[in-house]
Structure 1
Amino acid sequence: MTSPISNARGIAAMLFATASYVVCDTFMKLVTEDGVLPFEVLFLRGIFAVTCCAGLLLALGQWRGIGRAFSKASLLRAGFETASVLCYIVALAGMGIADAIAIIQTAPLLFILLIATLGRERIGMVRIGLIAAGFVGALLVAQPDASGFTPAALLAFAAALGLAIRDIAGRAVSSAIPALAATLVTNIVVLVASGVGMALTEAVVMPNGQHLLYLLASGFFVTLGHYGVFMAYRLGAPGVIAPFFYSFAVWAVLSGLIVFGNLPNPLALVGIAAIVASGLAIVLLDRQKARELATVPE
């Protein structure tokens, strides 16, 4: 059983991780707004992310697990995450960071729906209602007009679906594989895929020194984000830590306001709140059910 001090450290690690991911995305968006095309941004960030992740693996002595991390299950998971990231970087270039991240946060809701559909697991009417509320929130963020969703919003939804499928595929990945080793494999696959996408679809823009510094920082912070999530669940109880994953929304709104000088409109803010509230409610509902099952006598 985890102690209150350990849970507090786990919460701090999760808050640090989500902030790190948003810092990573902020640097990427700054570079795309300066004219460097999305796949090139992702490719260059991938070089730095692979380097940072490999260095962290060596520093922590987890490099021995690299061979196992190239299993079929791990590569399949990495493939779906790569598809998601490729969609996300293009979406991020075309919409506000808070809006893009809000739509991405429907991924856990999609995961539950897919598990219920593919695995035929019962999810109950309350969870269905909460999932529906989350998707209504996503619609408020995307705000389709008479012609439908914008291409950027559709790509953000595709990225969320890719993450949900990634998490389903991740169930088959052996728990014996260190999280950082699996992360390195994902970073390598993303690097290769974005490089192919860049070569096939984009005219390469020569990055300047500031671009490279931003992408170095982006690769560093995405690695910190992966490691922070890993440590959060190691330090604290999952039921206590999981709700703080939704701090993404707070950091994203702050980034949009402080760095880009824009704030989602009132309707989008309501939608962001609905997505976060529905996700938190599902996490807390599952936690309560787990407690009730734990107290039922055998």
Structure 2
Amino acid sequence: MRGLSGNTVGIVMMTISTACFAINDALLKLAMAEIPSFEALLIRAVAVVLLGVPLLGIMGQLRFLPRAFEWRVQLRNLFEVIAALGFVIGLAQAPIADLTALGQTSPLLLLAGATLFLGERLTRLQIGLVLLAFVGALLVAQPGGGGFSPFTLFGLWSAGAVAIRDLIGRRINAEIPGIVIVVGVGIVGVVGAGIATLLFETWVWPGVVTLLFVTGSSALLLVGQWLLLHAYRVASVGSVAPFLYMSTIWALVTGLLIFGTAPNPLALGGIALIVVSGVAVVALERWPRKTVVSP
């Protein structure tokens, strides 16, 4: 990607990353048709470690593996697991549309945190575009159809944990390879999902097809997390955060291709708002910043 600015590279990485996460979720959902939710998360975490460690060896970065246990890396990955567990708990009891809608507050929380704690300066137009994308995400999710459930608040739990995860990830030493951090996600996930499985579920032995689904999910999680980390390393939070909403579009695409669920006109309108706001963020990269919001 030579010749491109850091923000442009970050935007491309974030877009591909959200696609990886969406397909990862779809494959995990297919696996959950046979095995319980926490068990699926546990197997996925084990597979991330089993795939990631040999990859570090191939890349000549195995010597960095102990740095996966540094406190900031572990804290970042703890919030990753908290986000995943919260979403799965909510998904078992609340309408997915309501849960997803609250989950879409993550970019807003992330931008607020970047302004307050990282000292990033955001234009009012940037903030407005993120809010526009949020409205688009609500049109896609279309919450409220199934009545309110307290478990819907787990969507906000997940969103808050994702925002904290990314703020901490921005502060991790850039010398630590991204794959090392992702292997750390698997290590923390084994512990967190393992405890949840022991406490709340009965183990079900998965079939070969289910294991293939989980393995594919793990590979995409590995790639998605690596791209996510590098997007925040090469670009500002204000530039890439709006592209977290691309996950909503990719979720609709996977829903259509894998589960046969087509978006309605409101959802298509929401997609248009997300795309417009994203294109505007890219275009604004070349404009001088005049009005800023600072801590």
Q: Which moved more, 1:86-95 or 1:266-275?
A: 86-95
Superposed CA deviations along residues 49-73 of structure 1, whole A, max 9, x for unmatched, are 1111111111101111122231111
The aligned counterpart of 1:52 is: 51
After superposition, residues 57-72 of structure 1 pair within 5 angstroms as 57-72=56-71
How many pairs does the alignment contain? Answer: 286
Superposed CA deviations along residues 70-93 of structure 1, whole A, max 9, x for unmatched, are 111111111111111222344566
Measured in 2, the distance between the counterparts of 1:119 and 1:231 equals 17
Measured in 2, the distance between the counterparts of 1:230 and 1:147 equals 37
Kept in 1: contact 2:13–2:228 (CA 8 A): yes
Deviation at 1:190, TM superposition (A): 1.3
Rate the CA distance shift 1:205–1:273 in 2: closer, same or farther, 3 A.
Answer: farther
Rate the CA distance shift 1:225–1:114 in 2: closer, same or farther, 3 A.
Answer: closer
Kept in 2: contact 1:98–1:252 (CA 8 A): no
Q: Which moved more, 1:41-50 or 1:123-132?
A: 123-132
The aligned counterpart of 1:296 is: none
Matched residue of 1:66: which SS? helix
Amino acid of the residue matched to residue 135 of structure 1? F
Amino acid of the residue matched to residue 260 of structure 2? G
Kept in 2: contact 1:91–1:156 (CA 8 A): yes
Measured in 2, the distance between the counterparts of 1:31 and 1:230 equals 26
Rate the CA distance shift 1:14–1:81 in 2: closer, same or farther, 3 A.
Answer: closer
Superposed CA deviations along residues 107-155 of structure 1, whole A, max 9, x for unmatched, are 222201233345676545434433433333343324225843673x543
Kept in 2: contact 1:246–1:280 (CA 8 A): no
Deviation at 1:279, TM superposition (A): 5.1
TM-score, with structure 2 as normaliser: 0.78
Rate the CA distance shift 1:109–1:13 in 2: closer, same or farther, 3 A.
Answer: closer
The aligned counterpart of 2:191 is: 192
Rate the CA distance shift 1:233–1:201 in 2: closer, same or farther, 3 A.
Answer: closer
Amino acid of the residue matched to residue 109 of structure 1? L
Deviation at 1:159, TM superposition (A): 1.9
Rate the CA distance shift 1:233–1:131 in 2: closer, same or farther, 3 A.
Answer: closer
Rate the CA distance shift 1:131–1:19 in 2: closer, same or farther, 3 A.
Answer: closer
Rate the CA distance shift 1:224–1:132 in 2: closer, same or farther, 3 A.
Answer: closer
Could you tell me the percent identity over the aligned residues? 35
The aligned counterpart of 2:144 is: 144
Rate the CA distance shift 1:98–1:61 in 2: closer, same or farther, 3 A.
Answer: farther
Superposed CA deviations along residues 213-263 of structure 1, whole A, max 9, x for unmatched, are 2111211222233345567789xx748x94876554443222101110112
Measured in 2, the distance between the counterparts of 1:3 and 1:130 equals 26
TM-score, with structure 1 as normaliser: 0.77
Rate the CA distance shift 1:207–1:50 in 2: closer, same or farther, 3 A.
Answer: same
Kept in 2: contact 1:134–1:275 (CA 8 A): yes
Unaligned ranges ≥5, structure 1 = 294-298
Unaligned ranges ≥5, structure 2 = 291-295
Two-structure CA RMSD over aligned residues (Å): 3.8
